[in-house]
Amino acid sequence: MLTSNYRFDELSMRSLLSADKNFLYCHAEGCSSGQIHDTGVEGPIFRCAACGYRMCTAHDPIVPFHENEACTQYNERIAQEIAQAEEDEERERNQQEEEARIRRQHEAASAAEVAKSSVECPGCGVQIQKTKGCDHMTCKYSVTSISLRQLLTWTGGRNGCGFQFCYVCRAPYTGEHGIFRVGNLAHSPTCRYHSTRLPNFVDLDVESSDGGDYDEDLDDEDEDDEILRAAIRRSE
């Protein structure tokens, strides 16, 4: 009961003191004390009777006491610090924006370069660049042909979709209308591998699958030349 009465008296006293315009609470962290400070700008130093923390009441809002520094000097210093902080923030923001702009430019240039020297896989849409071998492509990605970030985004960890297609005209090799089933007529009419564009209109893919003169184990780099030589022999 005594504790409750004491708490009630304390709250009542605080409520009464808070109504006084000269009553100030201490701003020190962890201190909840307060006291009347009525000396105004003539005596602006507030010293907490409970913890000894000092404040300068000449400022609005009240600030921590500034040792060996007049109020005008304190105001000038704080203004300079705020201006410097805003300038640093603006500089950092501009730098980040410039870096982002340069990064976008580089990414756009890289994408344009990849687009010029690569084709899109009809199976999964990834850009594929042929560095050697024939034009019979099988979709397989590598970090040497595209960026690692694009690789992870496009593949989800897979090593290519396995789609087989003609690098020149994107005609598929598999499926009902694929080159393996239809033959070279499956190529685009403008493709150099279309039946009507080959010497003597020889359908090389069909004859090759029927046991023609073609070696399936040829190195990719020699396969095109071997096909053309075989076509020329038939036309003679």
At 195, is the secondary structure helix, strand, or coil?
A: helix
The arithmetic mean of pLDDT across residues 129-139, rounded, is: 89
pLDDT band at 102 (very low <50, low <70, confident <90, very high): very high
- Specify the higher pLDDT residue, 110 or 59: 59
* Alpha-carbon span 119 to 202, nearest angstrom: 27
DSSP E strands: which ranges in 8-142? 23-25, 34-36, 45-47, 54-56, 63-64, 119-120, 127-128, 136-138
pLDDT band at 212 (very low <50, low <70, confident <90, very high): very low
> Does the pLDDT at position 145 exceed 90?
no
Q: Please report the pLDDT score of residue 109 as a whole number.
A: 87
CB 57 within 8 A of CB 43: no
Q: What are phi and psi of 82, to 5 degrees?
A: -65, -45
Instruction: Please report the DSSP string for 103-119 in residue order.
Output: HHHHHHHHHHHHHHT-E
Structure-token match 């073609």, residue found: 214
Q: Please report the pLDDT score of residue 37 as a whole number.
A: 87
The arithmetic mean of pLDDT across residues 91-105, rounded, is: 95
Domain boundaries, the chain: 2-64, 118-235
pLDDT-wise least confident of 19-33, 52-66, 138-152, 205-219: 205-219
pLDDT-wise least confident of 40-54, 102-116, 124-138, 153-167: 153-167
- With 0-12 CB in 10 A as exposed, 13-18 as middle and 19+ as buried, what is 163? buried
Q: Please report the pLDDT score of residue 120 as a whole number.
A: 87
The string of pLDDT tens digits covering residues 157-201 is 445 788 999 999 999 999 999 999 999 999 999 999 999 988 865
The answer to pTM > 0.75 is no
Residue type, 74: Y
Mean of all residue pLDDT scores within the chain: 79
